[in-house]
Structure 1
Amino acid sequence: MSVEDVPPRNVWDVLRNDGEAVLVDVRTDAEWNFVGLADLGDAGKQPVLIPWQVYPSMQVNGAFADHLRKAGLTPLNKLYFICRSGARSLAAAQAAQAAGFTHAFNVADGFEGPPDADGHRGTVAGWKAEGLPWRQR
């Protein structure tokens, strides 16, 4: 299986219209706290927060699939994985598929996307640049 990249606006539409769709944010605590989170209130949901890598060592979270299950997620859920730019979330979605979560997708360009010409993120592509709802934690 391969993981499909889904544009952020399409993910937002699915989250609002599909009760089985879940956004799994795989960034670190520091990113959730200082950069912000997708605000899914209008969809009647909250993002599921499970780090793919554990800060500060940045080792891959060996219990990632177990954490998905403990969060109440099942292979019936459509899981949309998001990170800063789409790289960690792709790896997390691949691991989820390998663990039996067949409906695993990657949010293209992640929460902040690539840096702009001045080195700032959140303006070129990704959840924030698309003007989708988000908030500071």
Structure 2
Amino acid sequence: MSDYAGDLAPQQAWDLLSTDPDTVLVDVRTSAEWQWVGGADLSQLGKPVVGIEWVSSAGEPNQRFVEQLGQAGVGPEAPVLFLCRSGHRSAAAARAATAAGYGPAYNVAEGFEGDPDALGHRGTVNGWKVAGLAWRQS
């Protein structure tokens, strides 16, 4: 048994976000990643993406993560999907949210950029972007 609701492929995450009006997407990457790499775009669904860093750009854990979920308006019973670069930080965030009483909490497996290819580059093998889901870059 998992310590959160489970892993969803990016398309499954999009489908849940599309069909359940209460579902929230929380991007747990750093502000630098949001700015330079881009992020999921839910505007066609009429939803925002909630950005709460799991770890800061300086590598410091965000001790206020769960508190910031509430401050961002994430309700404790809303289905919440966590997204990061590759699915590792977001799995940790889903565990923390579940432990704090949020959920169901899901990890978006593969993340935004996905696994590295043979040359070590992300964004070519799998993930939100490769799945062709809506995203934008600032």
TM-score band (shorter)?
Answer: over 0.9
2:100 and 2:56 map into 1 onto residues whose CA distance is 19
**How many Å apart are 1:41 and its aligned residue?**
1.0
Aligned length: 136
**How many Å apart are 1:2 and its aligned residue?**
2.1
Mapped pair 1:34 → 2:39? no
Which ranges of structure 2 fall in alignment gaps of 5 or more residues?
Answer: none
1:108 and 1:116 map into 2 onto residues whose CA distance is 16
Which ranges of structure 1 fall in alignment gaps of 5 or more residues?
Answer: none
The correspondence for 1:10, drawn from 5, 9, 12, is 12
The answer to whether the Cα contact below 8 Å between 1:113 and 1:121 also exists between their aligned partners in 2 is yes
Give the aligned residue type for 2:11. R
Q: Secondary structure at the match of 2:127?
A: coil
Residue matched to 1:76 = 77
Residue matched to 1:100 = 101
Give the aligned residue type for 1:133. A
The answer to whether the Cα contact below 8 Å between 1:20 and 1:76 also exists between their aligned partners in 2 is no
Give the aligned residue type for 1:100. G
TM-score, normalisation: structure 2: 0.95
Post-superposition CA distance 1:76-107 (Å, at most 9, x none): 21100000000000001100011110310000
1:129 and 1:27 map into 2 onto residues whose CA distance is 18
Give the aligned residue type for 2:111. G
2:103 and 2:84 map into 1 onto residues whose CA distance is 19
Give the aligned residue type for 1:104. A
Give the aligned residue type for 2:53. P
TM-score, normalisation: structure 1: 0.96
1:83 and 1:9 map into 2 onto residues whose CA distance is 15
Return structure 1 stretches of 4+ with deviation > 2 angstroms.
Answer: none
1:5 and 1:67 map into 2 onto residues whose CA distance is 22
1:51 and 1:126 map into 2 onto residues whose CA distance is 19
